[in-house]
Every structure is written in C-alpha cells, then in structure tokens.
C-alpha cells in the first residue's frame, strides 16, 4: 500500500439478511463460518417500524465457498428475536451461544430462552437453554483457565417492569453453565473482557443506567468506575506503539468517547463527533491502527433515521481521525476476519433498510 493512498473499505460482497443484529466469524473443522442472528422478518401489509415484525426467526450459519470470499447457506438454528451469537471453545468442545430478545409477532414475549448450541461434528445442536428477559448479548472469556459466559439483558417495557432481570455472569462447572453473579442493570446491551497489567477487567454497557468497568478479584467482579452515564452500547480496546492502552465507549444517544488508562483508571482522552454509535471493530495492521465505527439510528424508535454513514478512523498521534465514510442502514455490528487470500475483511450487519424494513444486507468489505 503506497503512502500516497488512503486506506479504504471497499465492498466485495453482500448477504441477504433480515433484522441482522450481529455477525460472528469463526473457524471450525477447516470451515470458515459466519453466524448471523436475525431480530425479525417483515410482515406483509403492515406499517414499517423498527419494533414490529415477526420475531419467530432463525439464525443464519453460512460457510465460505472454497477459493473465494462468497458465503453459502450451511445451517439454520432456531433463535427467535436473535440479537447476538458468540462462538467459543472449552477444551476440544465447540459452542455457539445465541441471545434471543423476544419471540412472537406482537405482542411480544420478552421472557424467553437463549440457547447455547454445541457442535456434534456435523452440526450445532441445543446444549443448554437459559431463561432471560430481553437478552441482547453473550460474551465468553477465560480467567486462569476458568470459563465465563456473561449475558447482557433487560428492557423497560411499560407495565412489565417487575419481569425485568439483571444482567448475569455464568461460569462453567465442568458440565454446564451456572449463575455466578448478577450485575445491577436496567437495559443491558454489551460486555467487553480484557486483561491489563495482570488484572482482568469486564466492561458492561447499559442504556439507562451507567455503563461500568468491573475488575475480577478472584471470587467476583467488583465495580472500578463508571464509563458513561447512559446510552451505552459497546466497547473496544487497543494498545498503541508506545504501550498506552485505550478503551472506546460507544453510546447511541450521547457522544462516544475514547478513554486512556492512566495506571489506575480510564480517563477521558477524546470525545468523538456524532451520535448513533452501535459498535466498534479494531484493525491492527502493518499500515497502522484503524477503527471501524458503525452507526445504528438517529431520532426516536418511533421515527428512526436508519440511513447513516458509518466511518473508518485512523489512530495516529494519540487521536482517532476519520479517513472514510461509507453508507449503512441501521448498522448493528462490525467484525474483522481474513479473506481467502489472507487479506483483511470487515463484515457489517445492517438491521434495517432506509425505509425501516427488516430486509437489509450484511456487507463484506475489503480493507485495502
């Protein structure tokens, strides 16, 4: 790549999806797979709306075709109101956890099972179902060979406040996942686990209550600091060439921020322009460090603006600077993966069309 050319994301393919809320790339038994949970299907002859639709949906599992970057159907899994998919391994076993926010076609049932599937050598089959309320994300991580699986959940449904549940951290007991610790939450969205200075941290995002940073003390996770007062959606962290560690905090309806670790806590370092952030993806390349930011909606859920530009940023001299904008519609996730030729790709899930229908595209971009 010439120094005179600005790195860019160039679209190389697209997948038809419906209300896609995440994209999870992983490798299994020599296969390159994408798992895409879907929130809802469009119901013919009904008004457009981001909170409507038929949520008795399936997760799409796609397999990369040999010698190309095209993906073909491999398996579907029952995942009503699919919000997230998390692939992980425990020893020789492989699992795919799917978070389900709701079921039905309206009115919707938010008290629903989220299923952990296990690979049997041929396909994924149900392993364990965990009852939750408005589940939005699973995150698997390991501390000292101990496996954890954290579920972000909850939503404020008028008249059903008593049904809401805290977000919850589970641990592997050798045969299944059991509840370890509740995290005070009202409208949970996301987790991000990382290690820093020999300590294990877990960031938690909440829409209504503060998003927080937790630290593992050997028995449980304890509060370290607040990261954002409200509107939390996601996190990403990276370390620069000088050894400084940064944490990105995505917020939907308030500014997103870049925080820097000062040895004891994360301090505000840079306020990012614009609202609507939903997710970040970090690309640590031979040409420098880049961050993809995808934007979800502006406005209200009743009247959302879904056709927004998302951005590619370059990190240089301690700051993130946008170098490219690209069109997205209700973008929900970005994931970095390798193409068939070893090049970097970024998969972006779009959950809504410009006219607020669920039929939209999940797009593959090449970083070049």
Average pLDDT (212-240) is: 98
Residues 210-236 as b or e (16 or more Cβ within 10 Å = b): bbbbbebeeeebeebeebbebbbbbbb
> What six digits make up the tokens of 181?
């610790």
Band the pLDDT of 1: cuts 50, 70, 90.
Answer: very low
Secondary structure of 137-167 in the HEC alphabet? EEEEEEECCEEEEEEECCCCCCCCHHHCCCE
Confidence band for 159, pLDDT divided at 50, 70 and 90: confident
Distance CA 143, CA 217 (A): 11
Q: Is the peptide bond before 107 cis (omega within 30 degrees of 0)?
A: yes
Mean pLDDT of 209-221: 98
Q: Is 69 a member of any domain? A: yes
356 in any annotated domain: no
Structural domain contains residue 211: no
Strands 177-183, 167-172: pairing kind: antiparallel
Q: Which pLDDT tens digit goes with each residue over 238-277?
A: 999 999 999 999 999 999 999 999 999 999 999 999 999 9
352 HSE (CA, 13 A, CB side): 23
Decide if 59 is inside a domain.
yes
Structural domain includes residue 111: yes
Give the mean pLDDT of 98-124: 97
CA distance 262 to 133: 37
6 falls in which pLDDT band (50, 70, 90)? Answer: confident
Which parts of 208-265 are beta strand (E)?
211-216, 221-228, 232-239, 245-251, 257-261
Q: Quick one: CA torsion of 165, 61, 277, 6, rounded to 10 degrees?
A: 160
> In angstroms, what CA-CA distances link 19 with 71, 246, 307?
18, 31, 14
Backbone angles phi, psi at 91, to 5 degrees: 65, -130
Residue 286 included in any domain = no
* Residue range 326-347, pLDDT digits in tens: 999 999 999 999 999 999 999 9
**In sequence order, what are the beta bridge partners of 308?**
328
Residue 140's nearest CA partner among 184, 85, 61 is 85
Return the structure tokens found at 321. Answer: 């600077």
Going by C-alpha positions, the residue among 266, 214, 274 that lies closest to residue 250 is: 274
Residue 317 pLDDT more than 80? Answer: yes
Give the residue among 268, 266, 227 at the shortest CA–CA distance from 250: 227
**pLDDT higher than threshold 60 for residue 4:** no
Where does the pLDDT of residue 153 fall: very low under 50, low under 70, confident under 90, or very high at 90 and above?
Answer: very high
**Per-residue model confidence as pLDDT tens digits over 45-83:** 999 999 999 999 999 999 999 999 999 999 999 999 999
The average confidence (pLDDT) of the chain is 96
As for how many domains the chain has, the answer is: 1
Domain for residue 346, yes or no?
Answer: no
Quick check: is 288 in a domain? no
pLDDT at 160: 79
**How many Cβ atoms sit within 10 Å of the Cβ of residue 145?**
5
Domain that holds residue 40: 20-135
């Amino acid at each position: 790549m010439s120094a005179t050319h600005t790195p860019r994301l160039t679209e190389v393919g697209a997948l038809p999806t419906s209300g896609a809320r995440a994209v999870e790339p992983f490798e299994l038994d020599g296969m390159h797979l994408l798992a895409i949970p879907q929130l809802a299907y469009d119901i013919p002859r009904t008004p457009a709306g981001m909170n409507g639709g038929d949520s008795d949906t399936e997760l799409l599992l796609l397999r990369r075709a040999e010698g190309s970057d095209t993906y073909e159907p491999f398996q579907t899994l029952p995942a009503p109101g699919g919000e997230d998919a998390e692939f992980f391994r425990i020893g020789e076993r492989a699992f795919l956890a799917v978070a389900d926010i709701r079921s039905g076609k309206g009115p919707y049932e938010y008290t629903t099972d989220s299923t952990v599937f296990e690979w049997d050598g041929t396909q994924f089959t149900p392993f364990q179902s965990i009852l939750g309320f408005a589940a939005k994300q699973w995150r698997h991580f390991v501390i000292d060979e101990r496996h954890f699986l954290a579920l972000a959940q909850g939503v404020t449904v008028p008249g059903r406040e008593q049904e809401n549940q805290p977000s919850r951290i589970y641990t592997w007991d050798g045969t299944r996942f059991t509840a370890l610790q509740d995290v005070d939450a009202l409208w949970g969205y996301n987790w991000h686990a990382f290690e820093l200075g020999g300590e294990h941290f877990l960031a938690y995002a909440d829409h209504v209550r503060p998003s927080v940073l937790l630290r593992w003390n050997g028995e449980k996770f304890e509060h370290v600091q607040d990261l954002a007062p409200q509107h939390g959606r996601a996190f990403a962290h990276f370390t620069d060439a000088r050894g400084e560690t940064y944490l990105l905090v995505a917020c939907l309806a308030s500014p997103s921020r870049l925080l820097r670790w000062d040895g004891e806590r994360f301090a505000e370092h840079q306020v990012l322009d614009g609202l609507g952030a939903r997710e970040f993806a970090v690309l640590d390349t031979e040409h420098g460090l880049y961050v993809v930011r995808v934007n979800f909606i502006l406005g209200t859920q009743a009247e959302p603006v879904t056709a927004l530009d998302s951005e590619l940023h370059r990190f240089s001299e301690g700051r993130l600077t946008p170098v490219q904008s690209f069109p997205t519609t209700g973008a929900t996730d970005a994931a970095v993966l390798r193409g068939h030729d070893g090049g970097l790709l970024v998969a972006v899930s779009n959950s809504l069309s410009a006219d607020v229908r669920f039929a939209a595209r999940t797009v593959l971009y090449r970083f070049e």
